[in-house]
Structure 1
Amino acid sequence: MNIKAHINKQTLVRLALVGIIPLILCLLFLWAGGWLTPERLTSDKLINVLQQSGGIHKGYRRNHAKGICVLGNFISNGNASTLSRASIFSKGETAVTGRFAIAGGNPGAPDYAVPVRSMALSFQQANGEQWRTGMNAMPFFPVSSVESFYELQAATLPDPATGKPNPEKLHAFVMKHPEVKPFFAWAKQYTPSSSWASDRFNSLNAFRLIDRAGNEHLVRWSMVPHTRFSPLSDADKQNKDFLQQDLAHRLEQGALEWDLVFTLAQAGDKGNDATKAWPADRKTINAGTLVLNKALPQQQGPCNDINYDPLILPDGMAASDDPILNARSSAYAKSYNLRTHEQAQQAGAHL
């Protein structure tokens, strides 16, 4: 082979490699979007089924659409610094931007109509890293996989003829996924509170705390309220915005507080199944106190542009092997992109 031919061959190889790289990226993009495997469950499908349930409300989150922004601080007592090297757990204060919400995709839904409520928080560490978390006021998740969560949403969609879920579809789902029975049993006997301030919010999914020596500790966490529980009243059911009005009124009187409590797993406790509550005798550590002192409307509020992706974690924290975490992260990103695009369009239309 002469020198000229060798150079041409090398050039062709380089060009081929240059062409292959964007092709691979395109294929990965298409695969992630479900275009190459339409039977594969994607974030688009998850968002679509949520929209079928709550309707399309442009500019709002596709789930937990109705909410309110809150501001405050997390005051760490240093107790969790033995479990995690994250600076947030050293003694001191960290600024927090949060959001309370009710489940569902309808921003106009009555507060009393939805038993599941949420607290989302974004902790801004001094070193620039963030910890974001979305918690729910329920003890465990209804299903253990992304596919079964999608099937549950589909099974509970309102029947056009009745406006209510089809009991046959729901029965078929329960027969296929008996792990959902404890959640339905909890929901049947659950009495909602009269205030977000008295709700206990749980991570549901497990995570790993990593200490300075590199040791990992499997944990779940809860925000445990200082406010005493009081049940939902008949008067609350006459006011579709009672949760937001109650929160604003309470914060006018003073700050509201929750303790951040970590529960440590023992051998045999699963980190990949959020349907299973860990036994009550597991060791707990109080890591400090969340203090909220201000509430603001969510639209154009400080929480509006925050994607409370549970996989945004600082050094010293990491995800467990729970498959629902990746699905939550992907669906949150899809919802965020949709609503921010819609909000930009709405803003442009008013110029």
Structure 2
Amino acid sequence: MKKNTLPQYALAGLLTLGGPLAIAAETQVAPDRVVAALESTFGVTPGERRNHIKGTCATGEFVGNKDAARYTRSALFSGKPVPVIARFSLAGGNPKVPDTAKNPRGMALEFKLPGGRLHHMTMLNTPVFGAASPQTFLDLTLAMRPDPTTGKPDPEKMKAFKDSHPDNLAQTQFLANNNPPVSYANSSYFGIHTFKFINRKNKTTLVRWQFVPQDGEKRLSDEALKTSGPNFLEQALISRAEQGPVRWDMVVSIGEAGDPENDPTLAWPEARNKVKVGTLTINAAMPQKGAVCEPINFDPLVMADGIAPTDDPVLLFRSPAYAVSFAKRLGKL
């Protein structure tokens, strides 16, 4: 597979006037400042990601339901198999973070559509995000910076952050109340943000999506949390894929008037109409070093026709921040 280069993925976010970089500037938090904060908090591993550094590659396909055409004209839902490159990961820039850590897990997908078109999805296993703005994410990253004397975050700084950033509370509570999954294959993954589905009549429907594991949700017990080793997630996924296909159902929640559109920290009501629009199948998993997912910058604003972003400031900020991180990974910055 041809490796991605800076012009393919990074320059779009770094240089496009009026695009994500201009939008990010309006937030008054520079993308390079956030990436620098990640580097100062977690350190730098040359050639590696600045966030979600610990990960596992996988390959498979997605088959969308034609019934989704009611909401979107996206080629994802043609009913034909679409090749997928996936990456499963743990949040943060520490390559040695233990798999028992109570932090988010990620699933990033690159869909290879006909005509060389691409579509990306970058998701977490928490139903909401921990920041309503880039500023909150920056402040959290700075608060987590280890104290030189203890090697751990300063409790007082963390307390001050939590007291002054209520938008972080919902995700923090979810992580505290739910143990990590026993395997990447036993976790749901949420799109976090609200997106626009656009059909052939140009009608727009606000949606949020979730990938639900057909293997079922399974979390570590409190005892397993204490006794499990630091690196079980990758082998668990590899072993599971060797046994047979691993599948998730893509389920879309249909938005209604008044649902939060631009705040990923606020959940939609459970009563929202939910529609299964496709199935993701993973056929193989492998360590990321040298594998197909390693060079990909899973920019969430790489979207094919029929799906579009909302004005969520965190969603729009992610693209230029990813571009800066990607460029640094390649040694271009």
Q: Tell me by how many angstroms 1:143 deviates.
A: 1.6
Deviations 1:234-292 (A, max 9, x none): 55744222000111111111010000111111100111000100000001110111010
1:21 — aligned with what?
A: none
2:7 — aligned with what?
A: none
2:186 — aligned with what?
A: 198
Residues paired across the two proteins, number? 311
1:332 — aligned with what?
A: 322
Query: In structure 2, what is the Cα distance between the partners aligned to 1:310 and 1:254?
Result: 29
1:126 — aligned with what?
A: 114
Query: In structure 1, what is the Cα distance between the partners aligned to 2:171 and 2:284?
Result: 33
Q: Tell me by how many angstroms 1:181 deviates.
A: 2.2
Question: 1:305–1:340: 8 Å Cα contact kept in structure 2?
Answer: no
Query: In structure 2, what is the Cα distance between the partners aligned to 1:276 and 1:114?
Result: 20
Q: Tell me by how many angstroms 1:305 deviates.
A: 1.4
Larger radius of gyration: 1
Question: 1:66–1:106: 8 Å Cα contact kept in structure 2?
Answer: yes
1:268 — aligned with what?
A: 258
Correspondence 1:150 to 2:138? yes
1:23 — aligned with what?
A: none
Candidates 289, 296, 299, aligned match of 2:286: 296
Let me know the Cα RMSD of the aligned residues. Answer: 2.2
2:304 — aligned with what?
A: 314
Residues 256 and 156 of structure 1: CA distance in aligned 2, closer, same or farther (over 3 Å): same
Amino acid at match of 2:93: G
2:167 — aligned with what?
A: 179
Correspondence 1:41 to 2:29? yes
After TM superposition, the runs of 4+ consecutive aligned structure 1 residues lying more than 3 A away are 233-238
Deviations 1:56-103 (A, max 9, x none): 111111000011110000012212111111111121110001111111
Q: Tell me by how many angstroms 1:40 deviates.
A: 4.2
Query: In structure 2, what is the Cα distance between the partners aligned to 1:292 and 1:279?
Result: 30
Q: Tell me by how many angstroms 1:228 deviates.
A: 2.5
Q: What TM-score do the two structures reach when normalised by structure 2?
A: 0.88
Q: Tell me by how many angstroms 1:172 deviates.
A: 2.2
Query: In structure 2, what is the Cα distance between the partners aligned to 1:146 and 1:179?
Result: 11
Give the number of the structure whose residues are more often helix, by fraction: 1
Query: In structure 2, what is the Cα distance between the partners aligned to 1:212 and 1:241?
Result: 46
Candidates 47, 71, 80, aligned match of 1:92: 80
Question: 1:111–1:241: 8 Å Cα contact kept in structure 2?
Answer: yes
Question: 1:103–1:114: 8 Å Cα contact kept in structure 2?
Answer: no
Query: In structure 2, what is the Cα distance between the partners aligned to 1:84 and 1:250?
Result: 33
1:65 — aligned with what?
A: 53
Question: 2:61–2:280: 8 Å Cα contact kept in structure 1?
Answer: yes
Q: Tell me by how many angstroms 1:112 deviates.
A: 1.6
Query: In structure 1, what is the Cα distance between the partners aligned to 2:152 and 2:175?
Result: 17
Q: Tell me by how many angstroms 1:338 deviates.
A: 1.4
1:11 — aligned with what?
A: none
2:65 — aligned with what?
A: 77
Query: In structure 2, what is the Cα distance between the partners aligned to 1:114 and 1:63?
Result: 16
2:240 — aligned with what?
A: 250
Q: Tell me by how many angstroms 1:114 deviates.
A: 4.5
- Same amino acid, percent of matched pairs: 39
Q: Tell me by how many angstroms 1:150 deviates.
A: 0.6
Residues 114 and 176 of structure 1: CA distance in aligned 2, closer, same or farther (over 3 Å): closer
Query: In structure 2, what is the Cα distance between the partners aligned to 1:218 and 1:99?
Result: 26
Structure 2: runs of 5 or more not aligned: 1-14
1:103 — aligned with what?
A: 91
Query: 3-state SS of the aligned residue for 2:142?
Result: helix
Deviations 1:183-209 (A, max 9, x none): 222222111121110100001011101
- Deviates most, 198-207 or 151-160: 151-160
Candidates 285, 289, 312, aligned match of 2:275: 285
Amino acid at match of 2:236: D
Amino acid at match of 2:153: P
1:15 — aligned with what?
A: none
Query: 3-state SS of the aligned residue for 1:247?
Result: helix
Amino acid at match of 1:228: G
Q: Tell me by how many angstroms 1:105 deviates.
A: 0.8
Candidates 194, 197, 204, aligned match of 1:216: 204
Structure 1: runs of 5 or more not aligned: 1-25, 343-351
1:323 — aligned with what?
A: 313
Question: 1:224–1:259: 8 Å Cα contact kept in structure 2?
Answer: yes
2:3 — aligned with what?
A: none
Residues 275 and 235 of structure 1: CA distance in aligned 2, closer, same or farther (over 3 Å): closer
Question: 1:66–1:107: 8 Å Cα contact kept in structure 2?
Answer: yes
Amino acid at match of 1:268: G
Question: 2:56–2:286: 8 Å Cα contact kept in structure 1?
Answer: yes
Amino acid at match of 2:242: E
Query: In structure 2, what is the Cα distance between the partners aligned to 1:284 and 1:215?
Result: 18
Query: In structure 2, what is the Cα distance between the partners aligned to 1:179 and 1:102?
Result: 21
Residues 145 and 132 of structure 1: CA distance in aligned 2, closer, same or farther (over 3 Å): same
